[in-house]
Structure 1
Amino acid sequence: MEGPLEVLERRRRLLVEGDIEAFADLFAVDGVIEMPFAVDGIPARLEGREAIREFSARAATMPFEIIDLRTVQFHQTADPEVVIVEIESVARVTTTGETFEAPCIQVFRIRDGRILLFRDYVGAHSVPDLAAS
């Protein structure tokens, strides 16, 4: 069974490759994504693998692509299922070619190789207005 580090590395690879189906499959059937700092048009909470799949497919049509997710720091907690990751999301606006980096703190609960909870605190101020692109 994959541990949290392996699951998160696979997640990084799948997002960089744009494999939305496999990304969604990393989640437990009742997995949750929470985005407490979500900007307009982005839901603050997605419940269930299929909701995550549907949202991820819609997000894949937005005019940006993920170039990399650089891990700055990985923190294990007293709970072996919970990890905290400091990340720099590197992306490119596909309509303009502009690249940007967004700092993130991400909290995960991973059990038996599946993501149960992904809480993303993204520095939304670093993300360009994609609607204007």
Structure 2
Amino acid sequence: MSVSSSPADLYRHSLRLLLDKDIPGWVGLWAEDGVMEFPFAPQGWPGRLEGREAIAAYMRPYPDHIDLHDFPDLRIHETTDPETVVVEMRGVGRLVETDSSFDMTYIAVVTVQEGRITSYRDYWNPLAVLEPGTDFARSGR
């Protein structure tokens, strides 16, 4: 991605990389000192990842657990800060281990500086993974 890409364009590109299971490419969109936060993370799950390497380690096994098929209902809202967008979307696919369906709603606040993601606050619903009968928590996020 060009460093002149808007935060919205960079985010759309990041989703394409996730669908292509190109985790190294996705991690490459991050600033070296980027921070990923999960404000609603359940106990025992990471609440904050600091730095590209920590984010890479967290995301590396993602395709082994979740086979993403699409991000329907994508809405990207620009904010008064030209470097920050608010994203609403669903991620749908299947859980690899159980072959059960995956359908998660997300809201994210993403900041991009100089063409790299510097901050990503992921407000996903932890109740979806804690529901009885789901193997999502065991398979990892």
8 Å contact from structure 1 (residues 71, 85) kept in 2: no
TM-superposed deviation, 1:41: 4.2
What is the identity, as a one-letter code, of the residue corresponding to 1:85?
V
5+ residue gaps, structure 1, are none
For 1:44-55, list aligned pairs within 5 A. Answer: 44-55=47-58
Matched, 1:125 2:122: no
3-state SS of paired residue (1:8):
helix
Alignment of 1:41-120 (within 5 A): 41-61=44-64, 63-120=65-122
Question: Residue 41 and residue 18 in structure 1: after superposition, are their counterparts in 2 closer, same or farther (change >3 A)?
Answer: farther
Aligned residue number for residue 2 of structure 1:
5
Partner SS for 1:43: coil
Partner of 1:33: 36
Q: Measure, in 1, the Cα distance between the counterparts of 2:46 and 2:63.
A: 15
Task: Say if 1:84 and 1:105, in contact at 8 Å, map to a contact too.
Answer: yes
The answer on whether the counterparts of 1:30 and 1:48 sit within 8 Å (CA) in structure 2 is yes
Given that 2:88 and 2:107 are in contact with CA atoms closer than 8 Å, whether structure 1 keeps it comes out as yes
Instruction: Point out where structure 2 has 5 or more consecutive residues left out of the alignment.
Output: none
Shift of 1:5: 1.7
Map of 2:26 onto structure 1? 23
Q: RMSD in angstroms over aligned alpha carbons?
A: 1.9
Q: Quote how far apart the aligned CAs of 1:91 are.
A: 2.5
**Counterpart of 2:123 in 1: which secondary structure?**
strand
Alignment TM-score, normalising by the size of structure 2: 0.84
1:22: how far off? Answer: 0.8
The structure with the largest strand share of the pair is: 1
Give the count of matched residue pairs: 132
1:119 and 1:72 mapped to 2: Cα distance?
16
Q: Is the 8 A contact 2:6 2:115 kept in 1?
A: yes
Does the C-alpha gap of structure 1 residues 117 and 71 become closer, same or farther in structure 2, counting only changes over 3 Å?
Answer: farther
Distance in 2, matches of 1:37 and 1:119, equals 10
Which segments of structure 1 move beyond 4 Å, counting only runs of 4 or more? none
Q: What is the CA–CA distance in structure 2 between the aligned matches of 1:15 and 1:41, rounded to whole Å?
A: 24
